[in-house]
Amino acid sequence: MWAPRVMDLGELRKVPGLGQLENRAVTEASPHVHPNLTHLSAVMEPAIEQVSDNVYNAVGFDAANSTFVIGKDGVIVIDAMTAIENLENALLAFREICEYPIAGVVYSHSHGDHWAGSPALLHPANPDRIPVIAQRQLLAEIGRINGFNQPIMAARANYQFGNALPASPLGRVNVGAGPFLAFHQRAGLVPPNTLVDDRLEIEIAGVRLEIVWVPSEAPDEIVVWMPELGVLQSAECVQGECYPNLYTLRGDVPRPAAQWVASLDVLRRFPAEALAKSHGRSVVGAEASRDHLRNYRDVIAWTHDQTVRFMNKGYVRDQIVEQMGQMPPHLRAYETTGIEGYGSVAHGSRSIYTWYLGFNQGEATDFNPAPYAERQRRYVEAMGGADRVCDLARESMDAGDNPWAIEVLGYLVRHDPSNGRARQLAAEAHRAEGLRQGNATWRNWYLMAAEELAGRVPAATGISPRDVQLGLPLGSLVGGLPPRLRAELAWYQEFSLVLVIGGAEPGEFTAHLRRGVLEIVEGTDPDVGTTLRFADKAAFVDYLTGTGLADLQARDHLELVGSAEVANSFARLLDEPPSADRILVTLHGPAS
């Protein structure tokens, strides 16, 4: 296999006192683990990697890396992992090399594995003493991801990353881009105080940084070029040591492949002698760095261009994936692009099709199908009834065709979730198919679905909404209220009230309920007679995360001015803060 020049394990600096930090990916070979995943796990051992003079990468401590850049009297940290504990361990390891204070922090983008450990670097309440740098959209993106659509994304992320699975050859092996995702640990957000538009040049601790916006894996992605050190911190414009994740299975806004290619072309213009990556091992050497960026760019361009080519012949998503076949041999042979351990050509191509054409594939049933529940029932009847569906599935499973068994059983278990035989067969088929996958996210999803079908609804784990919301701007927080309105109960109601948040981060908003629609605008409407006056942002976050008005009043965290009836009506018309624990991902809908 043609492989990039990356830091070998023997070149990693082993740090005294951290022997307990064993590789948290599953490394042993097993008939239940695809060799690609075993290979990826083997390079995920926690260690401090020397990328270049004065640049080090902490790899294997978390799903994502942190990059430490040593200046003349301070250290710049690029990315802050998912968990405070993991970044604390990485810092402890790095302190064997350098004890300079933290002089600056950069968040490469808005996904939680790049900022949620930030309280390990400095206290969230006092970040202004050093620059904390991010792209201008970062807080809005964090607010969106961890705001109004957080519950469903958390539930699906639980499946993608296998958070409820044991780390074992029969469970979670790794998460593709790293050994594990530490959603059960402590997290927080130190908000940025220095924002980047297209470009920012800044000197911190004597180190000159050129920070460039490169929308790609995230719309707010930035990379850091260190010209005097010859190192490019490539963020997730380059993901891990796998084929890129052009679509994340947990669901999110599309990742436009053509734009990603253009951003990689920006990276290729830097004369980098090494790449410090946000996932996976660093790449060293000018030629290796050049090849790495070019091949990564080319595999995305090939996926995009061939998808569009067949799309313009009239083929639909599944047909296009089958038409494309294998990727070009040299990209298949190149280790980083050839291993589909995180992203895949199949789900990347489907996402590109959807980006350009949306959900409609040209069949009327795409936009005007029979009612959902009826459709499940009638498919079961058309196949000959429940017993016949189970028999067909068993025959397919015995022939090694688990995907077809999963598909036909899907109609039955969603029509009749109480059918024990169907659920047992579906769980067995999902488990068998999961264990043969070379893609970590596919494997985890299959195995988590098997747990749900077996009646063990996996408890979703995630970054605490409260911990994150305390770091978000108030505008992002109030934006989470309208999607919680129980509109069907408010068709004939109209009223307004004012929300006032005091404390160190004050804000004032007016909420207008208009017959099933909730609008919230910044500022106070003097004609509105009811006000909810929260003591501070923490009290408002408590309200958003489930604390009732009466409880807040009893703690002196809330003052009600005006109509108690309006205030209580407003509270009753909002859904309880949704919980990812109550979402069925495979059977679809709320858990009973």
Write the CATH number for 377.
Answer: 1.25.40.880
Axis crossing angle, helix 317-324 with helix 345-357, rounded to the nearest 10: 140
pLDDT value for 146: 78
pLDDT value for 144: 84
- How far CA 251 is from CA of 254, 364, 508, in Å, comes to 9, 25, 33
Instruction: Answer yes or no: do 146 and 220 share one domain.
Output: yes
Containing structural domain, residue 535: 473-572
- Dist. CA 478–CA 15, nearest whole Å: 45
Least confident of 117-121, 153-157, 291-295, 384-388: 153-157
Of 575, 577, 579, 573, nearest to 591 by C-alpha is: 579
- For 500-557, the DSSP string reads EE-TTS-EEEEEEEETTEEEEEES--TT---EEEESSHHHHHHHHTT--HHHHHHTTS
Residue 230 has pLDDT above 70, yes or no: yes
Residue 4 has pLDDT above 50, yes or no: no
Residue 476 has pLDDT above 90, yes or no: no
For the chain, give the percent of residues with pLDDT over 70.
Answer: 94
pLDDT per position as a tens digit, 91-100: 999 998 999 9
Residue 468, judged by CB atoms within 10 A of its CB (0-12, 13-18, 19+), counts as: buried
Residue 259 has pLDDT above 50, yes or no: yes
Least confident of 133-142, 310-319, 471-480, 536-545: 471-480
Decide if 62 contacts 87 (C-beta within 8 A): yes
Instruction: Answer yes or no: do 416 and 309 share one domain.
Output: no
Mean of pLDDT values over 427-446: 98
Residue 125 has pLDDT above 70, yes or no: no
Q: b/e per residue, 211-248, with b = 16+ CB within 10 A?
A: bbbbbbbbbbbbbbbbeebbbbbbbbbbbbbbbbbbbb
384-387 own/partner pairs: CB under 8 Å, 24+ apart = 386/412, 386/416, 386/419, 386/422
pLDDT per position as a tens digit, 162-219: 988 999 999 999 999 999 987 678 888 999 999 999 999 999 999 999 999 999 999 9
Mean of pLDDT values over 1-5: 36
pLDDT value for 20: 63
pLDDT per position as a tens digit, 12-71: 445 555 666 788 999 999 999 999 999 999 999 998 999 998 999 999 999 999 999 999
CA atoms within 13 A on the CB side of 329: 0
pLDDT value for 461: 59
Query: Per the domain annotation, does 357 fall within a domain?
Result: no
Instruction: Answer yes or no: do 449 and 492 share one domain.
Output: no
Query: Per the domain annotation, does 353 fall within a domain?
Result: no
Query: Per the domain annotation, does 579 fall within a domain?
Result: no
CB atoms within 10 A of CB 576: 8
Mean of pLDDT values over 118-125: 81
Residue 555 has pLDDT above 80, yes or no: yes
Q: Which two tokens stand for residue 164?
A: 């409820």
pTM, 2 dp:
0.92
Domain final residue pick, 348, 378, 394: 348
Residue 3 has pLDDT above 80, yes or no: no
Residue 9 has pLDDT above 60, yes or no: no
Residue 127 has pLDDT above 60, yes or no: no
pLDDT-based confidence at residue 463 (cuts at 50, 70, 90): low
Query: Per the domain annotation, does 292 fall within a domain?
Result: yes
Instruction: Answer yes or no: do 239 and 162 share one domain.
Output: yes
Query: Per the domain annotation, does 236 fall within a domain?
Result: yes
**Total tally of structural domains belonging to the chain:** 3
Mean pLDDT of the chain: 92
Q: Which two tokens stand for residue 495?
A: 């009223």
Residue 126 has pLDDT above 80, yes or no: no
Q: Which two tokens stand for residue 117?
A: 């450990």
Instruction: Answer yes or no: do 21 and 60 share one domain.
Output: yes
Mean of pLDDT values over 493-497: 96
Instruction: Answer yes or no: do 431 and 493 share one domain.
Output: no
Residue 490 has pLDDT above 70, yes or no: yes
The 3-class secondary structure across 48-62, one letter per residue, is EEEEECCEEEEECCC
Of 233, 214, 54, 38, nearest to 137 by C-alpha is: 214
Residue 468 has pLDDT above 50, yes or no: yes
Instruction: Answer yes or no: do 339 and 371 share one domain.
Output: no
Instruction: Answer yes or no: do 214 and 259 share one domain.
Output: yes
Instruction: Answer yes or no: do 278 and 389 share one domain.
Output: no
User: Can you tell me which residue has the tokens 């105080």?
Assistant: 193
Least confident of 95-104, 120-129, 338-347: 120-129
pLDDT value for 6: 43
Domain final residue pick, 348, 383, 418: 348
Instruction: Answer yes or no: do 248 and 104 share one domain.
Output: yes
Domain final residue pick, 348, 381, 408: 348
Query: Per the domain annotation, does 344 fall within a domain?
Result: yes
Could you give the residue ranges of the DSSP H alpha helices within 57-149?
Answer: 84-94, 138-145
Query: Per the domain annotation, does 360 fall within a domain?
Result: no
Residue 7 has pLDDT above 50, yes or no: no
Residue 415 has pLDDT above 60, yes or no: yes
Residue 373 has pLDDT above 90, yes or no: yes
pLDDT value for 364: 96
Mean of pLDDT values over 217-228: 98
Of 45, 298, 313, nearest to 174 by C-alpha is: 45
Instruction: Answer yes or no: do 315 and 434 share one domain.
Output: no
Query: Per the domain annotation, does 334 fall within a domain?
Result: yes
Instruction: Answer yes or no: do 420 and 538 share one domain.
Output: no
Q: Specify the CATH number for the domain of residue 477.
A: 3.30.1050.10
pLDDT value for 10: 41
pLDDT value for 124: 61
